[in-house]
Structure 1
Amino acid sequence: MMTAEPRPAEQLSRDLARELSWGLTGYPGNGEVCQIIIGDEASGHRLQLHLGPHGIEVREDSPRPADATVWVPDEIANLLIKEARSIDLRDRRIHGGIRYEGNPLLVTRMGQALLRPSPEVKAVYEAAEQRAGRHPAVTSIERVHRPSVAVIRAAVDASRPLVATGLLDHCLPGSWEALAQQVSGIHIEPQSLGRALPLSEFMGHVLARQAGGPTYSEGCMLPPAFLGAFRLAFAQNGALPLGAPQLWAGASDSSQAVTGLHRDPVNGLLIQLLGRKRVLMYSPLERDNLYPVTAYNSFQNCWVEPLKPRLEVHTKFKRARRLEVELAPGEVLLNPVGWFHCVVIDGPTFSVSVPIKGRTN
């Protein structure tokens, strides 16, 4: 991690407030207040961000109690401002150096508001929108039985999602117990948990929905060897090179999305192994109707929540054209680069996402 040149706490706090205000552009606030203290806890410089439905107001002195307070050491504040394009908020040197109390979701919003995209990532999304515009509008998501590499590549080139069936017939686990045996020895580390645990133990928490135990994997990384047990026919011999897998497993109900609306700068596959998963998808051409955030590094979230939209704030969302698909065990969703999507589950589910290596624009 690079070392940024130090600046006085007062200047740091104002710079940080400016960056946060830009990153929160379009945020549909409900009057939340976040207090940020730069430097020493007792004598550091303080400011408050008031998040209203029509904008952000920065105050240095306010009688309103804060919904969340964040203490940021000088050196970390410098890094957050200087390295916004490459900073990883999960880095323990950052995560462990910042202290907060109050609303954790509001604190997370503050952290995300500091992210900035690189020109390369922005170019990927622009290319995805141009590609989608060159082809007929997608009105449904086709299911294709055992598609060839050529079919997959054609769908990628046409910015067209599809669901592949029959690719896992030879190795699909029939139950959670059977899968737990297959993954014996594999450990995972969900971000919010802060420690590693056996994947089989995590699966037990999911099935039991155990109070105090982790019940969603948050896209944590899996060892590449995991895919060896579920080798896809078109990925053999490097015909369709795949990247590192991520785990999306857990239990919830269908009242809210477990993965918020966002888009990724890579073509990807979502491999459904157990349970069912409903995916809501929007073409890259729907961008302006989905209120994407300005602050991001790679994947780009949206302010609108498709299941509970605030239509009085996000008025254009009513125009957005949505596609839906429900994945059953053994099905694989091709998610082309730049397609907005969110995920809804009802009950225990286990799936793995994996990026397709190669050109994205």
Structure 2
Amino acid sequence: MNVAYPAAQFDSDIAAIAGFADLLRTGFENPEGIVGTILFSIPEYPDQRFIVRCTDELLIERDDLERATDTQVIIPVATIHRIFNEFKVLDWRDPAIIGTITFTGNLALANHLAKSCIRPSNWTMARFRKAARIHAAKGYRHLTEVDYLHQPTQRQILEVMEESRPVIVTGLEPTPPCEDWSIDRLADCYRDAVVRVRSATQRQTMAEFVAELKAFEANPYDEMIEGFVKPYTEGANLPEEMFDNFGPLFFDPEDFAPPQLWLGSVPTHIPTSSLHRDPLTGFLQQVIGRKRLELYSADQAELLYPMKSYNNYQPCWFKPDAPNYEIFPKAQVANSLSVTLNPGELLVQPAGWFHQVYAVDSPNMSVSYFWRY
């Protein structure tokens, strides 16, 4: 399943803006029936504003632009060009992208529409097809428990990846060990390190983020919007200041994509990461608290309703935490493998496994690394 690749570049800014509107339209899906309007403004070209209306399809409207809309997005034309240049690898958590855009109004609509802008590479789609073949041949959809490896060799890890089989590694920890870390120690050690960028006007240091986390712990709320309203870093880039203490435990650092930080507090019934799959093998090091992952084999893709627009990872429309079998009936026969990850343990999750993640304890911290190959 795929949508057509957009043009890589345009002859003019005006053409790029028109292309951006078309990119949103062709990548749009709406099985949940979300409705609303979003006004897109380009500061350099105020006369090129347009409104998108979410219905069964995405409608682009260029008249009556002064009317009220549910969401307002201000995006520079340079960022629009960058979206086209990088659509196969675009990550909305990248400060160089999200840090240039301003959002107001209904942020859930903006988050929903952002998914329409990306497209998978042929390489990524081939990786998912390969994983599905292996998982079907090995009957992974019927797995009921994950294997443990104590202080394995790098050769053993490579064998696990070749078999596309998830395992939990024990007996290896960062220095200092995980039991010595707390959110207060993080704030003391990395006070001024930037841990999250939400928009052009919102950047948080570790000290600021820990303060928000503590405020949430004192007065929790249930409404969570990925990328905006969530006391969780959601895989933001691990600050360089933290590399020495939380670097990879296997292979060379150059063998991995930039590490990601998963730090925060989310109610146990709300997933910290919604159901999705990655085209690269992931190494998830649990540092503070426990996490629970629900894993689904790659050969169950059609049962989980994966989104057609994706790149670095492929989200699913189906939500195991709030299943709607009227809209997603095939999901009723999907089988998951439940895995609990304790502090000091490392999950090796080969490419293609669908997974949804929950925090068993709060606060919670993990660091993840993706094997480049």
TM-score range, shorter chain: 0.7 to 0.9
Residue in 2 aligned with 1:139?
144
Q: 1:311 to 1:229 in 2, by over 3 A?
A: same
Q: Which runs of 5+ in 1 are unaligned?
A: none
Query: Deviation of residue 33 (structure 1)?
Result: 3.1
Residue in 2 aligned with 1:151?
156
Percent identical across equivalent pairs? 27
CA RMSD, 1 decimal: 3.7
Partner of residue 287 from structure 1, selected from 298, 301, 307: 301
Q: 1:51 to 1:81 in 2, by over 3 A?
A: farther
User: Over residues 312-350 of structure 1, what are the superposed CA-to-partner deviations in whole Å (9 max), with x where a residue is unaligned?
Assistant: 211211121111111121111111111111211142111
**C-alpha distance in 2 between matches for 1:39 and 1:191:** 21
**C-alpha distance in 2 between matches for 1:35 and 1:47:** 4
**C-alpha distance in 1 between matches for 2:96 and 2:174:** 44
Residue in 1 aligned with 2:352?
338
Query: Deviation of residue 282 (structure 1)?
Result: 1.0
Residue in 2 aligned with 1:104?
107
**Segment drifting more, 24-33 vs 180-189:** 180-189
Within 5 Å, give how 1:235-246 maps onto structure 2. Answer: 235=250, 238=252, 241-246=255-260
**C-alpha distance in 2 between matches for 1:190 and 1:38:** 24
User: Over residues 105-162 of structure 1, what are the superposed CA-to-partner deviations in whole Å (9 max), with x where a residue is unaligned?
Assistant: 2112222211112222222222222332332323321233333333322221111111
Partner of residue 220 from structure 1, selected from 231, 236, 240: 236
User: Over residues 245-270 of structure 1, what are the superposed CA-to-partner deviations in whole Å (9 max), with x where a residue is unaligned?
Assistant: 21111112122112111111211111
**1:276 and 1:329 in contact (8 A); partners too:** yes
Residue in 1 aligned with 2:32?
28
**Segment drifting more, 239-248 vs 327-336:** 239-248
Q: 1:146 to 1:240 in 2, by over 3 A?
A: farther
Residue in 1 aligned with 2:186?
180
Residue in 1 aligned with 2:315?
301
Within 5 Å, give how 1:1-361 maps onto structure 2. Answer: 4-6=10-12, 8=14, 12-13=17-18, 15-25=19-29, 27-36=31-40, 43-52=47-56, 55-58=57-60, 66-72=69-75, 76-77=79-80, 80-81=83-84, 84-89=87-92, 95=98, 98-137=101-140, 138-168=143-173, 171-176=177-182, 179-180=185-186, 183-184=189-190, 187-192=193-198, 194-197=202-205, 199=206, 202-203=209-210, 205-209=212-216, 215-223=231-239, 226=242, 228-229=244-245, 235=250, 238=252, 241-345=255-359, 346-357=361-372, 359=373
**1:258 and 1:344 in contact (8 A); partners too:** yes
Query: Deviation of residue 51 (structure 1)?
Result: 2.6
User: Over residues 90-109 of structure 1, what are the superposed CA-to-partner deviations in whole Å (9 max), with x where a residue is unaligned?
Assistant: 56675466544321121122
Letter in 1 for 2:267: D
**C-alpha distance in 2 between matches for 1:290 and 1:249:** 27
**C-alpha distance in 2 between matches for 1:79 and 1:229:** 33
**1:38 and 1:71 in contact (8 A); partners too:** yes
Letter in 2 for 1:352: V
**Segment drifting more, 314-323 vs 25-34:** 25-34
Q: 1:188 to 1:211 in 2, by over 3 A?
A: farther
Q: 1:3 to 1:88 in 2, by over 3 A?
A: farther
Q: 1:4 to 1:250 in 2, by over 3 A?
A: same
Query: Deviation of residue 352 (structure 1)?
Result: 1.0
**C-alpha distance in 2 between matches for 1:41 and 1:225:** 39
**2:99 and 2:198 in contact (8 A); partners too:** no
**C-alpha distance in 2 between matches for 1:100 and 1:180:** 29
Letter in 2 for 1:46: F
Aligned residues: 350
**2:30 and 2:55 in contact (8 A); partners too:** no
Query: Deviation of residue 169 (structure 1)?
Result: 9.1
Aligned residue for 1:113, secondary structure, equals: helix
Query: Deviation of residue 205 (structure 1)?
Result: 4.1
Residue in 1 aligned with 2:225?
none
Q: 1:62 to 1:129 in 2, by over 3 A?
A: farther
Query: Deviation of residue 179 (structure 1)?
Result: 4.6
**2:146 and 2:167 in contact (8 A); partners too:** yes
Letter in 1 for 2:25: S
Residue in 1 aligned with 2:3?
none
Letter in 1 for 2:310: Y
Q: 1:33 to 1:267 in 2, by over 3 A?
A: same
**C-alpha distance in 1 between matches for 2:242 and 2:44:** 45
